[in-house]
Amino acid sequence: MTNSFRAVCYASLAALCLMAVGCAPATPNKPDMSSPSSSGSAGSQGSAAGEGQRGGTRESTTGSSSLKELQEGKSTATPASSPLKDIFFDFDRADLRGDARDTLRANAAWLKSNPSARVEIEGHCDERGTNEYNLALGAKRAQSAKDYLVSLGIGGERLSTISYGEEIPVCREHAESCWHQNRRARFVVISGRPAS
Amino acid sequence: MMLRVAFTVLCLMMCPSLVAAQFKGEIVGQGGQKFPIAVSPLKNLNSGSDVARLSEGIADTMVHDLDLSGWFNVLDRSAYIENPQNSGITLGTFDFKNWSTIGAEGVVKGGFSVQGDEVTVELRLFDVYQNKERIGKRYVGKVKDYRRIAHKFVDEIINQFTGVPGIFNTRIAYVSTSGGRFKEIYVSHLDGSEKFQVTNNRTINLSPSWTPDGRSILYSSFKDRVQTLFLFELYSGREVKFPPRSGHYIGGKVSPDGQSVAASMEVAGNTNLFLLDRSGNVIRRLTDDRGIEVSPSWSPDGRQLVFVSDRSGSPQLYILDLASGKTRRLTYSGSYNTSPEWSPKGDKIVYTGRVGSRFAIFTISVDGGDPRKLTSEASDSEDPTWAPDGRFIAFSSNRAGRYQLYMMQAGGDNQRRLTGSGGDDTKPSWSPRLD
C-alpha cells in the first residue's frame, strides 16, 4: 500500500466505519430471484454493488485487512462506500450464489478501471462448526471469488487470498441474522491507488 | 517467556508391599457406586504458623480432584469429628471410629512442614473398614506448587482403586479470549491453577496440541500476518516457526513418537494433509483432493490418522492408513462431523457432531460402530480431547453462557466445568501425564 493511499484510507476510515455500521441494515433489500439463498437479506449486496461502480469516481476505501482492523480495535465491516463489495455464502458452502456473481461482476468492473490495484480476498465463516474446518472453508470461499474474477478477465497476479475462518466476524450475535453477514468474502485493496 | 518448573518431587514408597485395593466399595466407572471418602485437613508438623494455608489448601485441592473424577463421594468437612492438628497421621495414632462414624470408608490424612520456600508433605490413604494404610507418600517441593503434590497423590488414590493412575497431574492447553478480543493460548492445571500464557501477540492463535513428551505446544498463529505453525517449548521458551510455504498451514498434530507432524495446509483453496518433520520440512503429501481435509489426529500406534474431509459434500470423519495410503469413511450419520481425536486406548474416536442447529460430543468405535452422543443439544459442546488414560474427555461448551472448558467421564457422566474466565475458552488439548 502506498503511503498516499494509506493516508486516504485512514482519513476516511473513522467516518466510514460509522457509516458502514449505520447504513448497512438500512439498505433496502432487493428481491433477487436468481439467488438460491435462504438468507434473503444478503441479496441486498447485489444492489449495493451498483454504487460500487460509481464509487470509483469519488474518494473510496476498502478498509484495511480484517486482522489489522481487529488489532486496531476498529470495525471489521467493509466501509459502506467501498468500491469493492462483500459477497455472501450459504452455510457450509463455498459456491457462488447469483447475488455473489452480480457483486463480483461489479467488483471486476472496478478492478478493470483501476488496473494498478492489487486486492487481497478474505474468506470468512460464521461461528458455527470447528475453527480448522472453517479456516479451510474460508479459503475455499476466497478462492471461489478469485476464480470468478479471473474468469471475468482480472489477472490472477493481482488477487491474493487469505482465510480468517470464523475468527474475525463483523457481528457476534448467535443468530442467523448475524451469521449470514459473517459468511462472506471481503476485498481489500493492498496496493495501487484507486482511480479518482 | 517460559514456564518455570523449578519443582522436584521426591516420592518415597513407605509401604512397598501393598498391592491391590481391599476397600469395601469398588469403583467400577459409570453407574458404579461412589466411594465415600474423607479428606482431612493436613497437620502442621512444625511450630511455624500455616501462612500459606497449606493445611486446607492441599486438602481442598484433593477434594476438588476426587469430586471431578466422579468416582468419589467426598464427605463434607464440617462433619469431621477429629481435630487434624491434635491427632496423629500414622497408623495407630488416630481412631478409625472417628471416620467410620461419619460414613467414610476411606480417609486421607497427612502432614506438612515448611522450611523457607520448600515444603515436605506426607500423605496417606487409610482403609477405614480394615483399619489399614493403603498408600503412604512423601513429597518435597516449592510451597507455591503445593497443588501439584495434591494432584499427584489423588492420581495415586485413583490407581489404588482402579489399577490405573489418575490424570490430575496433567495440564490443559486451550485458546482463550479472556485478555480481550484476541485469541491467545494458555496452559493450566485442570483446576485452573498455575495458569501460564503461551502466546501474547494480539492476533489469532489456534489449535494448540501437546507433543507426546508434554514439553512443547504445537499451535497455529496469525502473528506473522499469514497463518502458520509454531512449536513452543514450555520449559526453555524456545520456539520453532515452520518454514513459510506457498500455502497456509491451518493446523497440525505431533506424532506419538514425537518425530513428525501431520499438518493441514491450504494451497489455492484446497486444504490437504501433509507429513512434516518436527522442523516443518515436508516429508510427503498425504492427501490430494480438491476440497477440505483438516484436523488430523494420530492413532496411538502412529500408523493411522483420523481426519475431516468434505469429499462427500459435508464434513465427515475418515481414517487414513499411512502405510497403504488407503482411506475409509468412519461417520455416516449426521451432516456435520468434525474435530476428531483418537483415544489413547486406540479403540474410539471422539468428535463434534451437529444435531439440528446445535453441536454435541460423540464417540464412535474405530470400526464405525457404536456411535454415542455424550452431551445434550440444549447447548453447544465442541472440541473434545481425551485424558491420557482414555477415561475422561475435556471439551468446550456454551451451556453457561460463554464458552468454557468442561470435563466428563468417557461415557458422558459427571460433566463438570473447569474454567470460569471472563472470555471464551475453547480448543482444549489435554497433556500427557507429567512428572
Task: Output the domain CATH number for residue B134.
Answer: 3.40.50.10070
Does the distance separating the beta carbons of B203 and A71 come in below 8 Å?
yes
- Judge if B85 and B225 occupy the same domain: no
CB of B225 within 8 Å of any CB in chain A? Answer: yes
One-character DSSP codes across B356-419:
TTEEEEEEEETTS---EE-S-TTS-EEEEEE-TTSSEEEEEE-TTSS-EEEEEETTS-S-EE--
B65: cell is 480432584
pLDDT (0 to 100) of residue B31: 52
- Judge if B145 and B254 occupy the same domain: no
Rounded to a whole number, what is the distance in Å from the CA of A58 to chain B's nearest CA?
30
- Please indicate, yes or no, if residue A82 is contained in any of the structural domains: yes
A171: cell is 457481528
pLDDT (0 to 100) of residue B246: 84
pLDDT (0 to 100) of residue B124: 98
**Per-residue pLDDT at A53 exceeds 50:** no
Residue of A92, A135, A144 with shortest CB distance to B336: A92
- Please indicate, yes or no, if residue A157 is contained in any of the structural domains: yes
- Please indicate, yes or no, if residue B23 is contained in any of the structural domains: no
- Judge if B180 and B141 occupy the same domain: no
- The least confident of A56-60, B120-124, B255-259 is A56-60
Interface test with B, best of A38, A65, A69, A131 (most B CBs within 10 A): A131
CATH of the domain at B387: 2.120.10.30
Rounded to a whole number, what is the distance in Å from the CA of A135 to chain B's nearest CA?
7
- Judge if B370 and B403 occupy the same domain: yes
pTM: 0.86
Q: Which of B154, B165, B99, B89 is nearest to B130 (CA)?
A: B99
- Please indicate, yes or no, if residue A72 is contained in any of the structural domains: yes
Q: What is the C-alpha to C-alpha distance for residues B161 and B135, in angstroms, rounded to an integer?
A: 11
Return the DSSP state at B12.
-
Does the distance separating the beta carbons of B354 and A143 come in below 8 Å?
no
Does the distance separating the beta carbons of B382 and A132 come in below 8 Å?
no
Task: Calculate mean pLDDT across residues A47-59.
Answer: 38
- Please indicate, yes or no, if residue B54 is contained in any of the structural domains: yes
Residue of A92, A131, A164 with shortest CB distance to B314: A92
CB of B269 within 8 Å of any CB in chain A? Answer: yes
Q: What is the C-alpha to C-alpha distance for residues B167 and B392, in angstroms, rounded to an integer?
A: 9
For residue B215, give Cα distances in angstroms to B191, B341, B435.
20, 20, 11
> Within a 13 Å sphere around the CA of B413, how many CA atoms are in the beta-carbon half?
13
Residue of B207, B268, B270 with shortest CB distance to A132: B207
For A102, the 3-state DSSP assignment is: helix
B248-258: pLDDT as tens digits: 999 999 999 99
Nearest residue in B to A143, CA atom: B269
Percent of chain B at pLDDT > 90 equals 86
pLDDT (0 to 100) of residue A17: 39
- Expressed as residue numbers, the domain containing A165 is 3-191
* One-letter identity of residue B213: D
Task: Calculate mean pLDDT across residues B196-225.
Answer: 97
- Please indicate, yes or no, if residue A196 is contained in any of the structural domains: no
Q: Which of B322, B344, B315 is nearest to B210 (CA)?
A: B344
Nearest residue in A to B338, CA atom: A130
pLDDT (0 to 100) of residue B338: 97
**Per-residue pLDDT at B16 exceeds 90:** no
Q: What is the C-alpha to C-alpha distance for residues B129 and B247, in angstroms, rounded to an integer?
A: 64
Helices (H), B190-325: none
User: Rounded mean pLDDT of chain B?
Assistant: 91
Taking phi first (over 0 means left), then psi (-120 to 50 degrees means alpha), and beta for anything else, what does residue A121 get? beta
B383-421: pLDDT as tens digits: 999 999 999 999 999 999 999 999 999 999 999 999 988
- Judge if B317 and B209 occupy the same domain: yes
Domain stop point among B129, B162, B195: B162
Task: Calculate mean pLDDT across residues B121-143.
Answer: 96
For B69, the 3-state DSSP assignment is: helix
Long-range own/partner contacts, residues B177-180 (CB < 8 A, 24 or more apart): B177/B423, B177/B424, B178/B421, B178/B422, B178/B423, B178/B425, B179/B423, B180/B423
Q: Across B116-154, where does the E strand assignment appear?
A: 118-127, 132-142
Interface test with B, best of A127, A130, A160, A177 (most B CBs within 10 A): A130
Nearest residue in B to A167, CA atom: B204
Contact in structure between A152 and A108 (CB atoms under 8 Å): yes
- Please indicate, yes or no, if residue A141 is contained in any of the structural domains: yes
Domain stop point among B162, B182, B212: B162
Q: Give chain B's length.
A: 435
- Judge if B145 and B192 occupy the same domain: no
**pLDDT bucket at B187, cuts 50 / 70 / 90:** very high
CB of B315 within 8 Å of any CB in chain A? Answer: yes
| Assembly ipTM | 0.89
Number of separate domains in chain B = 2
- Judge if B95 and B178 occupy the same domain: no
Domain stop point among B162, B187, B215: B162
Instruction: List residues bridging with B114 in a β-sheet.
Output: B119
Does the distance separating the beta carbons of A143 and B181 come in below 8 Å?
no
**Contacting residues for B135 by C-beta, under 8 A, at least 6 apart:** B15, B18, B123, B124, B125, B153, B156, B157, B160
Contact in structure between B29 and B70 (CB atoms under 8 Å): no
CB of A132 within 8 Å of any CB in chain B? Answer: yes
How far does Cα B87 stand from its chain's mean position? 36
* One-letter identity of residue A97: R
- Counting DSSP H helices and E strands in chain A, the numbers are 6, 4
- Please indicate, yes or no, if residue B2 is contained in any of the structural domains: no
CATH of the domain at A46: 3.30.1330.60
- Please indicate, yes or no, if residue B435 is contained in any of the structural domains: no
Q: How far apart are the first and last CA of chain B?
A: 21
Q: What is the C-alpha to C-alpha distance for residues B183 and B201, in angstroms, rounded to an integer?
A: 9
CB of B196 within 8 Å of any CB in chain A? Answer: no
For B425, the 3-state DSSP assignment is: strand
A143-166: pLDDT as tens digits: 999 999 999 999 999 999 999 999
pLDDT (0 to 100) of residue B136: 96
pLDDT (0 to 100) of residue A106: 97
How far does Cα A139 stand from its chain's mean position? 14
* Helix-strand-coil split of chain B, %, nearest 5: 10, 40, 50
- The phi and psi torsions of B252 (rounded to 5 degrees) equal -165, 165
For B272, the 3-state DSSP assignment is: strand
pLDDT (0 to 100) of residue B116: 92
pLDDT (0 to 100) of residue B215: 97
- Judge if B268 and B414 occupy the same domain: yes
For residue A195, give Cα distances in angstroms to A55, A58, A118, A147, B181.
10, 9, 13, 24, 35
Contact in structure between A62 and A188 (CB atoms under 8 Å): yes
Does the distance separating the beta carbons of A163 and B202 come in below 8 Å?
no
Q: What is the C-alpha to C-alpha distance for residues A130 and A44, in angstroms, rounded to an integer?
A: 28
- Judge if B45 and B192 occupy the same domain: no
Question: Taking CB atoms and an 8 Å cut-off, how many pairs form between chains A and B?
Answer: 98
Does the distance separating the beta carbons of B295 and A139 come in below 8 Å?
no
- Judge if B157 and B280 occupy the same domain: no
CB of B177 within 8 Å of any CB in chain A? Answer: no
Return the DSSP state at B14.
S
- Judge if B119 and B222 occupy the same domain: no
Q: What is the C-alpha to C-alpha distance for residues B417 and B331, in angstroms, rounded to an integer?
A: 28
Kindly list the residues from chain A whose CB atom is less than 8 angstroms away from the CB atom of residue B206.
Answer: 131-132, 135, 167
Number of separate domains in chain A = 1
Kindly list the residues from chain B whose CB atom is less than 8 angstroms away from the CB atom of residue A163.
Answer: 227, 248, 266
- Judge if B182 and B323 occupy the same domain: yes
**pLDDT bucket at B157, cuts 50 / 70 / 90:** very high
> Within a 13 Å sphere around the CA of B386, how many CA atoms are in the beta-carbon half?
25
- Expressed as residue numbers, the domain containing B142 is 35-162
A74-106: pLDDT as tens digits: 999 999 989 999 999 999 999 999 999 999 999
Does the distance separating the beta carbons of B268 and A132 come in below 8 Å?
no
- The least confident of B190-199, B252-261, B423-432 is B190-199
Percent of chain B at pLDDT > 70 equals 93
